[in-house]
Amino acid sequence: MELRQLRYFVEAARLSNFTRAAERLRVAQPALSQQIGNLEQELGIRLFERSGRGVTLTRAGEAFFIGAERTLAEVRRAEDEARMFVDFPHGKVRIGTLDSLVQARLPRILVEFGRMYPGVEVSIREETTIPLLGALKRGELDLVIAARLDGVSAEQVDSLNPPANLAVKTLYRDELVLAVTKGHRLADRNHISLKELKEETFICFKEGSWVRAVLLATCAEKGFKPRILYECAEPRTLVAAGLGVAVLPRTMTEPPGPPVVPLSLDPPISRPIAVFFVEGRYLSPAAETFLRYVLEHLVSDDPA
């Protein structure tokens, strides 16, 4: 068994496709297929089920995948330690996170992290939770900071098919509020129930957003479906323009930014924010350093 075979197998398993795995690894697809076939022959087991649409892991392949990722992680860790990267972390860490966090909580953390670790370059991809976790599964991201899957529909989770070794560390909870424009008929209220909003026009995050999923589920419990006329990454801007109301994290309604009025929800709703990574998958010293920093500086006293 060769490390090259393990690398080919792991990449194909992450992407569920031999051709895409070969492209990412910059090798010929027949060579990759042959090496994986040799690996299966050596092990005496079938690791993949092949079809015209791609490949899926067999039960034996799923078990082998976890061990293969751990083996490759140890090899890369040994290489980095030999180069003395651990004591002086540098390199690139690929982070996936929510638009709302980039607008509110993360900038301060990134400034402080950059001062402490100037050799680490942070690349950020902004999306909603489900697409980000899909990218994490495929190995396109090192870490994801997003909402937990609590409250997300079963259909969305099934379509994601998260890896069995997905690690989730809860950091804190975001209070959700109803944002309205100044002069709105509800602007003088201190709190509001969603059941009072049947006739309102909503501005909402895109599909795959935890806030959107919870809004739809909560309104369904109240006996109605919200009228969502606009979808965007920054609903606050459209709320301030008087185009509708939006359920947002309170941090997204605070200055600076277009003026909106936040109303507390009754009963209250909060969004659990967590950091996700794949247990056993290699994290570079840069990524490990960023993960430790986030767990120390973004976690609340009571994240439950």
| pLDDT tens-digit readout, 213-237 | 889 989 999 999 999 999 998 899 9
* Mean pLDDT, residues 31-38 taken together: 92
Of 280, 75, 263, the closest CA to residue 179 belongs to: 263
> What confidence tier does 280 reach under pLDDT thresholds 50, 70, 90?
confident
pLDDT reading at 60 higher than 70: yes
> What confidence tier does 303 reach under pLDDT thresholds 50, 70, 90?
very low
How far apart, in whole angstroms, are the C-alpha atoms of residue 102 and residue 237? 15
> Crossing angle for the helix pair 29-43 and 18-25, nearest 10 degrees?
110
* Mean pLDDT, residues 76-92 taken together: 69
Summarize pLDDT for 128-139 with one digit per residue, the tens: 888 898 899 888
Q: Where are the beta strands (DSSP E) in 181-220?
A: 191-192, 201-204
Summarize pLDDT for 250-265 with one digit per residue, the tens: 988 988 888 999 999 9
Decide the pairing of beta strands 91-97 and 143-147. parallel
Summarize pLDDT for 157-214 with one digit per residue, the tens: 555 566 678 899 999 998 999 999 999 999 999 999 999 999 999 999 988 788 998 8
How far apart, in whole angstroms, are the C-alpha atoms of residue 196 and residue 199? 8
Summarize pLDDT for 22-33 with one digit per residue, the tens: 999 989 999 999
Residue 239: the pLDDT is 96
Chain CA centroid to CA 121, Å = 19
pLDDT reading at 86 higher than 60: no
Domains of the chain, earliest start first: 3-82 (1.10.10.10), 89-304 (3.40.190.290)
Residue 82: the pLDDT is 62
Residue 302: the pLDDT is 47
Residues paired with 264 in a beta bridge: 177, 191
Residue 304: the pLDDT is 42
How far apart, in whole angstroms, are the C-alpha atoms of residue 262 and residue 108? 23
Tokens of 128: 């909603």
Residue 301: the pLDDT is 47
